[in-house]
């Protein structure tokens, strides 16, 4: 799932093309609007899976900044000479949540997974999406991966996993906390915020790509993501640092 969002800025600002991990869609739209207002630059956003973005960048896609859902992909691009040296940093640490649109289905300890009283459970493809990999790691730790395999449906990215749950095509699913949290609260349904100790930290790195050299909007955006206003938005969606 990928689309473009242009956030209008001042006439004399520059544009920066940004590949944004699907889990970070909602906060980044808010951040981009504030970025345009505060700097006069414009962020042109594409949303999708980190794994697919890597392949697109390697094939010449004209992205200038990558906001990944992991640390591995930006580091790999850095090692392959595809980035601006020294630009990579961790912009946020994500949280995994088991969520259902149905109130009362998911308990606050995730015991619904053992009970199996549901038809389908959605996850993001663990080969492409770090949140999917975290979900699989959790199910392995709980010893439930095999027993739930027949009920599991996989989406290319976390946005697709969320879509399946939100439309009722899956009773519940593992999604990013940012997709179901608004102003520090779960927006609807029922949820279990997975303890961070049950899977590897979902540290998300940003990096300026090689073709951003000389673009003032790219430089400004990388700095803006470290600022108080951007971090306030991230915290309201459940991210840590």
Per-residue pLDDT tens digits for 128-164:
888 999 999 999 999 999 999 999 999 988 999 999 9
Q: Please identify which residue in the block is written with the tokens 């088991």.
A: 98
Q: What is the pLDDT of residue 4?
A: 43
Answer whether residue 6 shows pLDDT above 80: no
Tell me the C-alpha distance between 182 and 171, whole Å.
Answer: 21
Q: What is the pLDDT of residue 10?
A: 41
| Topology match between the domains 4-93+203-236 and 95-198 | yes
Is residue 61 classed as helix, strand or coil in its secondary structure?
coil
- Residue 199 burial class via C-beta count within 10 angstroms: exposed 0-12, middle 13-18, buried 19 and up: buried
pLDDT digits (tens, 9 = 90+) for 86-132: 999 999 999 999 999 999 999 999 999 999 999 999 999 998 888 99
Phi, psi of 19 (to 5 degrees): -90, 120
Classify domain 95-198 at the CATH topology level.
D-Maltodextrin-Binding Protein; domain 2 (3.40.190)
Q: Angle of helix 216-224 relative to helix 25-39, nearest 10 degrees?
A: 120
Q: What is the pLDDT of residue 183?
A: 85
pLDDT digits (tens, 9 = 90+) for 178-225: 999 988 899 999 999 999 999 999 999 999 999 999 999 999 999 999
Tokens of 170: 């899956």
Q: What is the pLDDT of residue 214?
A: 96
Classify domain 4-93+203-236 at the CATH topology level.
D-Maltodextrin-Binding Protein; domain 2 (3.40.190)
pTM listed for this prediction: 0.88
Q: What is the pLDDT of residue 12?
A: 66
Residue range 71-95: mean pLDDT, rounded: 97
- Sequence spans of domains, the chain: 4-93+203-236, 95-198
Tell me the C-alpha distance between 94 and 129, whole Å.
Answer: 12
Is residue 94 classed as helix, strand or coil in its secondary structure?
strand
């Amino acid at each position: 799932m990928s689309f473009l969002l242009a956030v209008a800025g001042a006439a004399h600002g520059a544009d920066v093309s940004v590949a944004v991990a699907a889990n970070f869609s909602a906060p980044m739209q808010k951040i981009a609007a504030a970025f345009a207002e505060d700097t006069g630059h414009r962020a042109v956003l594409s949303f999708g899976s980190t794994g697919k973005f890597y392949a697109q960048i390697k094939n010449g896609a004209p992205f200038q900044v990558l906001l990944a859902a992991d640390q591995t992909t930006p580091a790999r691009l850095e090692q392959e000479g595809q980035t601006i040296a020294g630009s990579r940093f961790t912009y946020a640490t994500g949280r995994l949540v088991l969520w259902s649109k149905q109130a009362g289905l998911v308990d606050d300890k995730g015991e619904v997974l053992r009970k199996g009283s549901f038809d389908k459970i959605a996850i993001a493809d663990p080969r492409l999406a770090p949140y999917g990999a975290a979900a699989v790691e959790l199910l392995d730790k709980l010893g439930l991966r095999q027993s739930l395999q027949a009920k599991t449906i996989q989406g290319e990215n976390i946005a697709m996993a969320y879509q399946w749950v939100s439309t009722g095509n899956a009773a519940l699913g593992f999604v990013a906390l940012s997709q179901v949290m608004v102003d520090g609260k779960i927006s609807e349904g029922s949820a279990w915020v997975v303890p961070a100790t049950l899977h590897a930290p979902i540290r998300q790195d940003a990096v300026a790509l090689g073709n951003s050299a000389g673009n003032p909007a790219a430089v400004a955006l990388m700095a803006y993501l470290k600022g108080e206003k951007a971090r306030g938005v991230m915290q309201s969606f459940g991210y840590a640092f």
